[in-house]
Structure 1
Amino acid sequence: MDFGLPVRTPVLWASGSFEGGTGKCSLVAGHICMKHLLTTGCLGPAQRGCREFLEGVNESYLGVLSLFRGSRGGGGAQPLGSSLPLEAHVSARTPHRVTVQYFEFVFSHQWTEVPADRVGYPGPATRELLLGTRSIWKASALNEMQSSQKVTLTLSGLSLEEPRTLSGGTRDQQLLQESTEALLRVPCPTASTLNPALADIYTEHAHQVVVAKYAPSGFYIASGDVSGKLRIWDTTQKEHLLKYEYQPFAGKIKDIAWTEDSKRIAVVGEGREKFGAVFLWDSGSSVGEITGHNKVINSVDIKQSRPYRLATGSDDNCAAFFEGPPFKFKFTIGDHNRFVNCVRFSPDGNRFATASADGQIYIYDGKTGEKVCALGGDKAHDGGIYAISWSPDSTHLLSASGDKTSKIWDVNVNSVVNTFTMGSTVLDQQLGCLWQKDHLLSISLSGYINYLDKNNPSKPLRVIKGHSKSIQCLTVHKNGGKSYIYSGSHDGHINYWDSETGENDSFAGKGHTNQVSRMTVDESGQLVSCSMDDTVRYTNLTLRDYSGQGVVKMDMQPKCVAVGPGGYAVVVCIGQIVLLKDQKKCFSIDNPGYEPEVVAVHPSGDMVAVGGTDGNVRLYSILGTTLKDEGRVLEAKGPVTDVAYSHDGAFLAVCDASKVVTVFSVADGYSENNVFYGHHAKIVCLAWSPDNEHFASGGMDMMVYVWTLSDPETRVKIQGDSCFCLSSLERLSPGPEGPICASGLLFCGPLPDPQRDGGRACS
């Protein structure tokens, strides 16, 4: 059977062995691309149960594990039985982008030269298996063999031990099954502290997520929300399939901890009848009780070595110590005089630390719970401490405080090694921290993630900035030869993003104080934004600084703004349409007889289209410093949600709440050109491609469709982010494959080719 698997450059491989029975068992492990397994149909009987797993994985890879038992008596090498359902847990640091390589494994038997890309299924007395880039091994008939041993798999420094039962047989069907390799699952490394652009989003919680923790195996994440739901979901697949869901108590989950074998979970928070629970991850069965507190429990952690210990911290100013499993309350620790915000065991399990709103950190013995010391004497910080994190070698501790500093402590000598002062404003308070291998991170109240530099405490290595509230609008503008995306959020912040690298920052100074509803860039390079703070702002995109100038106060709350040549801008407010000229109000239409929602200005600057909740678009002409109603009404299929002129001014696209996009031909007197259907919910935004042949629409169905103007049946579908409905769209370059960005979601990437993806409607 020709598998058609290419032999390429060598990759990381694993080896291990055990002694027992009449011989020595050895194993080898390699990697094989999941997509190749699917396309060539290489799954044998023992792997068919994994097909669902395979089909769900996108860019992750699978390893192939083959086990052989070498005989000392000259009987050849025997494959181990299929009763080895080996599913080795490999750390996320395992290389994931590897190609196929077969491994040469020498036994005391005859070798035969055959093509490297072929393998034969075994007969009754002969089994052929490809083991090298040039050779096939032929083994003699199998003998019945039973053995029970502990298999140790070593991969990239990671050792995993699982008891397994090994068996063999002589029948043809048994041979076929036994020769089938076990699948070795490798987590897809979708997130990275080295490159924060490698990130993923889990969107299946119905309520705000408070905490998420990796299982020590790396294959699952447990996340908890404000409703008390705990979801355990897969990290190896792009879809992040749900494994289990529990409701340990009714109320906000504030912290989660796993045992080192990834089999038990402790959850604490704001329950009504109880404040914590500890249970088996795969059944929900209780493995103890979390008691000893009379108020909300803020934090929990479990010692990552046996004998297990569990510690909690609560709003009752106490920590509690537990032994188990089953976990039972041992005693209360009352050293703090304010809320205990965080408890953490050291990785080696020898110590645990508690941090409190009283600014103190105490160190305790990890096995007995006896107090060892208080870091820094009376106070570790001048403000409350919200988080602590141990170094991998268990000798140092990182702390984050409301005094706007983070500190590194040498626990062995009870002294401060570094103090990181993050700023002087309220938003610079430090709420969280993480010591991840060589990376030290802290989180500010602003939502920024700081990469701390031990060699230069005065300045972070980098700061990851972004929006902490939903993005409501965006626009794109070229500045200095680069395309930048400008995004405005629900809390009034405006950020700018490099469309190539994803690097971003916020505007300096004090800007909008409420939701940014719409933004655009005028011909002078000014960012024009309108906000629910009843202002329209003009901001210089070279300085990216709110100077306090260029602020136009509106009489009514603005909803949308559009700009035209000659310094004109038209603002749609609640019950009002306002014309601006050179950053000043010059004309307004009060109570126009309908509720205006959106506006677009023709590229020539002489015509304005205003869409209303009554399902109509009305046309106005700009005459000097006035707006004239042209008496033209264009009918949409429902309440108008967005309007957009093509860049050449030849077409006007109108989308509505009835899930329809209608395109009007400007040259033909705004006659209806075409109607586009496809969305399954309200359409909220439009954007034209610079080629004027394609446009995109985004809706509350979390979909972006890219349409071809001349053919309503040809469209490309892009699945949006299910966190938010789409609220704004912009095109970065021409053509159906040009990058597009959307907000609500903020998405950038090349689009599929309609012809390549079937040409017709994708739904």
Structure 2
Amino acid sequence: MSSQSTFLFPPNPTTSRGSSTKLSSNKDRIVYTTGKVVVVRDLKNPALTFAYTGHTQNATVARISPSGYYCASADATGTVRVWDIAGEDKTLKGEYKALAGRVNDLAWDGESKRIIAVGDGRDKFGHAFMMDSGSSTGEIIGHSKAINAVSIRHQRPFRAATAGDDTVINFHTGVPFKYDKSIKTHSNFVHDVQFSPSGDHFVSVGSDAKFFIYDGKTGDTVGEFTDTLHRGSIMAASWSLDNKSIITSSADRSVKLWDAETRKTLATWIVGAAVEHQQVGNTWSPSVGIVSLSISGELNVFDPRVSDKPTQVYSAPQTSITSFIPAKEDTFIAGTSDGRAFSYSTSDEQSAVLQGPGHSAFVTGIAASSSGNVAYSIGYDDEVRELDPSSTSYLPASIKTSAQPRALGIAGDGTVFVAEPELVEAFRSNQKVFELKPTFKPTTIAASGSNVAVGAEDNKVYLFEWDGKTLRESGVLDSNKGPISALAFSPDGDLLAAGDAKGKIMPYNIKEKKHVTALWVFHTSRINSLAWTSDSKFCASGSLDTNIYVWSLGKPAKKVAIKEANPGGVNAVEWTNGGKDGRLVSGGADGCARVWQITFPEV
């Protein structure tokens, strides 16, 4: 058996209300951060998208060098990593402690040699250094509060502009970079500052909804944009490659296109009417066009020739993926830790958020009926919600659970069983039909036909028979050595795979009430997910140890190992089309949904 990574569904950028999220672009690619991951996303060819996972703390900003060979990315602790973007291995060029605190923005000079990092450090708010050695290239001073943005003029003589929470824009000459003067045009936080590609001008935007343009060499104020202004904080600005146009994104949910010379509005797009449509970042991609970021994480693509709505909207999780279910042959659905659910299409290579009333908190599990026509999800809002896998949308009905749900399973008659800390509840037709108060503490649950298996903290799996009215205990499986953390019945109903908190998996024969092999023991941490192929011959497991294993029932000693499949831990694994095409998807703490091609042996 063997495996190969074939495709990556990336997460969308992390956003924070009241803060600008930094996006950048290079040719067909846009670059952003989410959690500890740096995403380099190719909007023209999604197959070229990849995620960099070298940071151990939450990444805050990433910028590709003008040469296109390197990327500089920074995190919340002030560490900047410079790494090779062109090679397959993403080799680290250098790691530097730029600030003693969060880095809010980075900028490269035009020669791809120097970097300025700015943010909220304890001893300083900015640092200029060489990308290959980390040696200082000047001082970034003059601010009394955190710096939100920095931009470097790419032509000699080099200039740098920084903007901060102290309402000031500081202008630096270089190199080495040296404080020249302060520009006090804004009356509130300044969120972004950007030099034009030609270096003739730079612009600034801020929370005072004001928008200014300056001379790129001297820093003198050229003028203010006053035509049809935004009605809220302006969070980001970007230039077109020809230096003639500028886009701004605002918390008033609008994106505006401006003529740089006349300072007149050319187009205005209103993205939506809700708070989730606030625009908090943007970039002007040379090939794709205008890309603006909603606070919900959606990436909106605009064409200046179309003035009423985005031409494309990219939806994806901003947080970790918690669970999977298969939908149609080429589609699967994922629940996330922020309460939302997303559908993924391996044929279209796109993802979309499920419409309808979803959860308001962490989705702890999703399960589909044996027919696949209906599915249910549970969350930390203590609700069971029904969704339609075919239309990939939530249905209006919901059921309230008695306590916080941990896991769910669906019996053959459509009854939904939910495991909670002190009991098991059964629901059908949006009503509770049964409640079990066991002597053990349930941790997880699975159902197949009339069989219901409940995992417990005492390292055992308790088997029950469901007759449509009540659960009757039918046996106990006790070969696991840790609290049960994941359960999965084989499609034929004959086997039950039980994973535990110590990383061991025991496949049990349901009729004989004993395990069939004790060789599935190579994980080193909690098993989070188990998934059988439709022929019941192979089982995939995902673990907190970041690894995936594909196990063979016919040859228990044979396995496929996918190391570091999802950095931070694999929370969910699932087969598309029942594994008939060999495609396995995994999701985890990095928010990425990764597609793997598995080659099975002859059994």
TM-score, length-scaled by structure 2: 0.90
Shift of 1:191: 4.1
Answer whether contact 1:291 1:329 (CA < 8 A) is retained.
Answer: yes
Change (3 A) 1:190 1:539: closer
Alignment of 1:187-226 (within 5 A): 191-226=41-76
Runs of 5+ consecutive residues of structure 1 not aligned to the other structure = 1-57, 60-90, 95-188
Residue of 350, 372, 377 corresponding to 1:503: 350
Report the residue type matching 1:614 in the other structure: D
Answer whether contact 1:562 1:571 (CA < 8 A) is retained.
Answer: yes
Residue of 429, 443, 452 corresponding to 1:597: 443
Deviations 1:72-103 (A, max 9, x none): xxxxxxxxxxxxxxxxxxx9869xxxxxxxxx
Answer whether contact 2:55 2:75 (CA < 8 A) is retained.
Answer: yes
Residue 80 (structure 2) aligns with: 230
Larger fraction in strand: 2
Shift of 1:197: 4.9
Shift of 1:649: 1.1
Change (3 A) 1:713 1:524: closer
Distance 2:439 2:71 in 1: 54
Name the structure, 1 or 2, with higher relative contact order (CA <8 Å, separation 6+). 2
SS at match of 1:733: helix
Residue 146 (structure 1) aligns with: none
Q: Note if 1:541 corresponds to 2:384.
A: no
Deviations 1:368-388 (A, max 9, x none): 1111111125x7311111110
Highest Rg: 1 or 2?
Answer: 1
Residue 110 (structure 2) aligns with: 260
Alignment of 1:598-747 (within 5 A): 598-602=444-448, 605-667=449-511, 669-675=512-518, 676-734=520-578, 738-744=582-588, 745-747=592-594
Residue of 179, 199, 212 corresponding to 1:362: 212
Deviations 1:537-583 (A, max 9, x none): 1123345444432x111111111110022221211011111122333
Report the residue type matching 2:262 in the other structure: V
Distance 2:214 2:577 in 1: 59
Change (3 A) 1:754 1:250: farther
Residue 294 (structure 1) aligns with: 144
Distance 1:326 1:417 in 2: 39
Shift of 1:352: 0.6
Distance 1:746 1:614 in 2: 33
Distance 1:753 1:548 in 2: 41
Shift of 1:292: 1.1
Worse overlay, 507-516 or 289-298: 507-516
Residue 241 (structure 2) aligns with: 392
Distance 1:548 1:93 in 2: 43
Distance 1:746 1:92 in 2: 24
Instruction: Give the superposed CA RMSD.
Output: 2.2
Deviations 1:562-613 (A, max 9, x none): 00222212110111111223332111112x22221111112xx222111112
Deviations 1:402-425 (A, max 9, x none): 111111110111111111111110
Residue 489 (structure 1) aligns with: 336
SS at match of 2:485: strand
Answer whether contact 1:615 1:636 (CA < 8 A) is retained.
Answer: yes
Worse overlay, 379-388 or 615-624: 379-388
Distance 1:243 1:724 in 2: 23
Shift of 1:203: 0.9
Change (3 A) 1:421 1:727: same
Q: Note if 1:246 corresponds to 2:90.
A: no
SS at match of 2:434: strand
Residue 750 (structure 1) aligns with: 597
Deviations 1:233-282 (A, max 9, x none): 11122331211111111111001011111111111000111100111112
Shift of 1:616: 0.4
Deviations 1:488-516 (A, max 9, x none): 10011011122322222222233211111
Distance 1:648 1:623 in 2: 19
Indicate the percent of aligned positions where both proteins have the same amino acid. 33
Q: How many residues are paired up?
A: 565
SS at match of 1:427: helix
Distance 2:411 2:487 in 1: 15
Shift of 1:640: 1.0
Distance 1:196 1:429 in 2: 26
Runs of 5+ consecutive residues of structure 2 not aligned to the other structure = 1-5, 8-24, 29-38
Change (3 A) 1:574 1:642: same
Report the residue type matching 1:731 in the other structure: W
Q: Note if 1:457 corresponds to 2:307.
A: yes
Report the residue type matching 2:515 in the other structure: E
Distance 2:478 2:234 in 1: 60
Worse overlay, 630-639 or 708-717: 630-639
Distance 1:547 1:598 in 2: 25
Shift of 1:617: 0.4
Distance 1:674 1:194 in 2: 47
Distance 1:585 1:291 in 2: 64
Residue 230 (structure 2) aligns with: 381
Deviations 1:424-462 (A, max 9, x none): 100111111111214110110010111112111212111
Q: Note if 1:404 corresponds to 2:253.
A: yes
Answer whether contact 1:266 1:279 (CA < 8 A) is retained.
Answer: yes
